């Protein structure tokens, strides 16, 4: 499908994951406006990279494993106002980390990682790869962030609430720490089903993460004012 935002256009026809609320919220929420360099892990159609380009003056490097998705991503970059600041790498993040120069760190890393555990099957293979943790485990993701993140940099992720216990278990054995959590609630009165996370390199002593909530919709189905403020620079309706 094709999606038109205020300043760019996305064609995600060949991508495993369609444009969705998770990525839009993450792209609008991530605190990357001051970053000079941004890494998008698992770029897909390029949505997060394009949102980062709109919100900052950063050079964005977008790593995407799937060849069809990478082609769509490159097409979307080429047709955007920021093509000169967007670089696509068709590679696994593991291979990318081995190839980057020793001092090439990123001020901000952004990722909407695969989130279905092994055993949950999707019909289309591209969609399955995009959504299953088999293609990018939490351990591999955290290792990549540790290698690529600048000493004072941050990484922004969105995860299902049901995956947080496992994620935190793996995080505890990594060189990263959780510094901010925003619980994402789909509609007023419901429990959070997604979590926006900010990671940084571990410091000593450890600091408790800042915790907040964002509710997406009112009971009427309309976006909350908080959500409108978050997405108004992107959605044509606002």
Tens of pLDDT, residue by residue over 57-109, are 999 999 999 999 999 999 999 999 999 999 999 999 999 998 876 557 999 99
Which DSSP symbol is given to 191? P
* Residue 122 confidence (pLDDT): 43
Does residue 237 lie in a domain region? Answer: no
Q: Which domain holds residue 33?
A: 2-231
Residues 6 or more apart whose CB falls under 8 angstroms from that of 178 comprise: 168, 171, 197, 198, 199, 209
| Entry field: residues in the chain | 238
Q: Counting beta carbons within 10 angstroms of the beta carbon of residue 197, is it exposed (0 to 12), middle (13 to 18) or buried (19 or more)? A: buried
Check: CB of residue 89 under 8 Å from CB of residue 117. no
Is residue 236 domain-resident? Answer: no
Is residue 221 situated within a structural domain? Answer: yes
Say if 155 falls within a structural domain. Answer: yes
The answer to whether residue 226 is domain-embedded is yes
Let me know if residue 46 belongs to a domain.
Answer: yes
> Domain for residue 96, yes or no?
yes
In-domain check, residue 87: yes
List of the chain residues with pLDDT < 50: 116-133
| DSSP label of 46 | S
CB 168 within 8 A of CB 125: no
Number of independent structural domains in the chain: 1
Q: What is the CATH number of the domain that holds 50?
A: 3.40.50.150
For the chain, the helix, strand and coil percentages under 3-state DSSP, each to the nearest 5: 35, 30, 35
């Amino acid at each position: 499908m094709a999606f038109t935002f205020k300043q760019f256009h996305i064609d995600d026809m060949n991508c495993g994951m369609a444009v969705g609320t998770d990525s839009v919220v993450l792209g609008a929420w991530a605190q990357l406006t001051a970053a000079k360099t941004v890494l998008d892990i698992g770029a897909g159609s390029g949505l997060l990279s394009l949102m980062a380009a709109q919100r900052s003056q950063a050079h964005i490097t977008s790593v995407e494993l799937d060849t069809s998705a990478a082609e769509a991503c490159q097409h979307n970059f080429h047709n955007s106002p920021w093509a000169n600041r967007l670089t696509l790498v068709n590679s696994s993040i593991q291979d990318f980390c081995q190839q980057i120069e020793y001092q090439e760190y990123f001020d901000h890393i952004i990722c909407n990682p695969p989130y279905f555990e092994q055993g949950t099957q999707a019909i289309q293979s591209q969609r399955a790869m995009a959504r299953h943790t088999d293609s990018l485990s939490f351990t591999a993701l955290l290792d990549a962030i540790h290698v690529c993140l600048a000493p004072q940099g941050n990484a922004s992720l969105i995860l299902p609430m049901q995956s947080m216990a496992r994620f935190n278990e793996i995080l505890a054995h990594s060189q990263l720490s959780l510094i901010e959590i925003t619980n994402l609630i789909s509609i007023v009165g419901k429990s959070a089903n997604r979590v926006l996370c900010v990671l940084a390199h571990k410091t000593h002593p450890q600091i408790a993460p800042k915790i907040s909530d964002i509710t997406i919709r009112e009971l009427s189905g309309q976006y909350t004012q908080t959500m409108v403020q978050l997405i108004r620079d992107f959605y044509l309706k606002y």
